[in-house]
Structures are given as structure tokens and as C-alpha cells.
Amino acid sequence: MSQIVAGIYEIQQKIGSGGGGIVYLGRHLRLEKQVVLKADKRTLNTKPEILRREVDMLKELSHQYIPQVYDFVQENGITYTVMDYIEGRSFDKILEAGYRLPQP
């Protein structure tokens, strides 16, 4: 499943989905860097300005435990948020396995 978004990002495969959207593993073509593209499910009923404002707030966040948001693109009626790819298991899989996280 190779698809180019905004002429910059190549979607390589679907890696998950949830209430907010579908998450794809991708690659920034010029930087040769793995990224995540989240296709927002609200696109059809939410004004683009609202999604843009949300992404603008997220991209200002910087913390070691959250992915850095890089970009916001719209193509073919779909809004994508582009962020860091963090390798590992998804949080729901960790919880399903019965692992308990320490409070701190």
C-alpha cells in the first residue's frame, strides 16, 4: 500500500485505528525519515480551521513521552496529522498483556 500524500509523505502501511482516526506508518520522502500519518475521522463533519487550530496547539508540545507533531496536510478530503514514529507496542496491547505500569 504505497500512496503519496501532499507530495512529501509516502504511506507505507496501516498500523492502527481508533475513535479519532486511522494511523499509518509513513516516510518523509526528502528527509528519509519514518513518520506516522493519522487520518482524522472527523474530517467530513469538522471545519478544517478547527482541526488546524488543534494541530497548531499539539505541535508546540515537546515532551519525551509524547510524539512530536510536525505537519498538518489535507488531501482528497482527508486531514492528516504527521508526527514522530515511536517504535514499540501500542499501549492497548501492553494493557491487554496484563502489564502494570508504575505510578511515577
What pLDDT shows up at residue 92? 78
What pLDDT shows up at residue 42? 66
SS3 73: strand
Q: Give pLDDT tens digits for 13-38.
A: 999 888 888 999 999 999 999 999 99
What pLDDT shows up at residue 87? 87
Arithmetic mean of pLDDT over the chain: 85
What pLDDT shows up at residue 1? 66
What pLDDT shows up at residue 83? 93
Q: How far apart are CA 27 and CA 34, in angstroms?
A: 4
Quick check: 10 and 27 in contact, CB under 8 A? yes
- Going by C-alpha positions, the residue among 47, 69, 48 that lies closest to residue 58 is 69
Residue ranges in the chain whose pLDDT is less than 50: none
